[in-house]
Amino acid sequence: MKIRENVPLSELTTMRLGGPAKYVIDIEKLDDITPAFDFVAEKNLPFYILGGGANTIAKDDGFGGVIIRNTMTGIRDVVPGERVTALEGDPQLSFAKMGEDKGRQDPLPSGPVQITALGGTDWDAVVAYTTERGLTGIEALSKIPGTAGAAPVQNIGAYGQELADTFLSAEVYDIKNKSFKTLQKSDFGFSYRRSILNSTKKGQYFVISITLELKPGTMSRPFYNSIERYIDEHHCTDFSPAGIRNIVSIIRSDKLPDPAKKASAGSFFKNIYLTKDEAEAAEAKNIPVYHGHDGLKINSGWLIEQCGLKGKLLHGIRVCDAAALVLINESATSYNDLAAARTEIIKSVHDKFGYQLEQEPNEI
């Protein structure tokens, strides 16, 4: 267990804003978990569980408590009939990153495959691990920054897929009851960008590992609009998981800035979900509504663009000129700068369309 003091949150979050955290604890092995939360209790301090920092906003006054991070990494297949657990034996499972074992020619699986990833594992490495083997289910979630342990918090989703589609279970530490347990998918209450981890049970569980079930095959057409446009423009014929991953990776690199290169928290506003009547009313006003398997929705980025804000610099925050849903910290030096930009964008959309945008990133 590594304990650091007075660590700037601007160094731990991809928006690169925020004052110091009093303590930061990195969980490096299972035996660190209980002592870490005992430390929190002994100090009588608040705590915040932080993943890769890509979907999190920190404030200027910092955090007078303990930031806890899962830095355990590993991915493995679940052996048929095995009781899935990272809580016994060595949890540092073999970790396959994209590009390793290039000469490997594994046969395609004939049925569903379950995988377990430790919470500190880079999420995109999980996607790479599955798509290289021809498994479908999370290929559209390629290049989403963050960790596997953070993925179920807001039920990450993109381009027509979401984590809940393949999620089976998670092994967690119950902070309230000081116990280790396995939670099933039904325990999580998944919905759009929501789970018990960011709502009813927020702050109660520390995610140790997640288990997903994927299957050989391909996504069903029609794909998400931007994927279909790319296919038409580039005459693509490879719709395998690896092929879709490649397409999504290119689309994201063209439209969404890499947080490692440009300070950003990813998609800053949630899309707007509608009832059938609301969707019909929107389409009557020529507002495009996406009809997907997950419901009817309006792309909030489109609304922002229609307000003339795409590419605009507001209080040091740039509305991305490639994807208006993304805000880039170009020269903002404080949370207040970000808040002022956010307020202007929300007001503009509400004044023009009557819709109320909701922020997606969590706040420490």
* 230-248 confidence digits (pLDDT tens): 999 999 999 999 999 999 9
- Say if residue 61 is in the same domain as residue 88: no
Same domain, 104 and 212: yes
Res 111: pLDDT: 86
Residue 196: both structure tokens together:
């018990």
Both 119 and 209 in one domain: the answer is yes
SS3 content of the chain, % helix, strand, coil (to 5): 25, 30, 45
Which of 181, 180, 176, 119 has the alpha carbon at shortest distance from 150?
Answer: 119
Q: What is the structure's pLDDT at 291?
A: 86
Does residue 236 form part of some domain? Answer: no
Q: What per-residue confidence (pLDDT) applies to 96?
A: 39
Same domain, 352 and 290: yes
Q: Are residues 95 and 199 in the same domain?
A: yes
Q: Is 145 within the bounds of a domain?
A: yes
Considering the domain boundaries, does residue 206 fall inside one? yes
- 253 within a domain of the structure (yes/no): no
Q: Which of 10, 209, 267, 348 is catalytic?
A: 267
Cα dist from 320 to 228, 250, 301, whole Å:
22, 17, 10
Closest CA to 125 of 105, 103, 145, 110: 145
Q: Which of 69, 193, 252, 318 is catalytic?
A: 193
Same domain, 211 and 298: no
Give CA–CA dist 66/47, Å, rounded: 5
Question: Does residue 232 lie within any of the structural domains?
Answer: no
**Number of C-beta neighbours around residue 79 at 10 A:** 9
Q: Is 342 a catalytic residue?
A: no
- Return d(Cα 344, Cα 309) in angstroms, integer: 10
Boundary residue ending a domain (163, 198, 216)? 216
Of 216, 251, 269, the position where a domain reaches its end is: 216
Is residue 269 a contact partner of residue 360, using CB atoms and an 8 Å limit? yes
The pLDDT assigned to 221 comes to 86
* CA pair distance 356, 343, nearest whole angstrom: 11
Beta-bridged to residue 101, according to DSSP, are none
Last residue in a domain, options 70, 85, 115: 70
349 and 284 co-located in one domain: yes
- What is the per-residue pLDDT for 256? 83
Low-confidence ranges of the chain (pLDDT < 50): 84, 88-105
Judge whether 49 lies within some domain: yes
334, 58 Cβ separation under 8 angstroms: no
* Catalytic residue status for 360: yes
**Which pLDDT score, from 0 to 100, does residue 102 have?**
38
pLDDT at site 304? 98
Both 43 and 26 in one domain: the answer is yes
Answering whether pTM is above 0.75, one says yes
Domain that holds residue 13: 2-70
Is residue 191 annotated as a catalytic residue, yes or no?
Answer: no
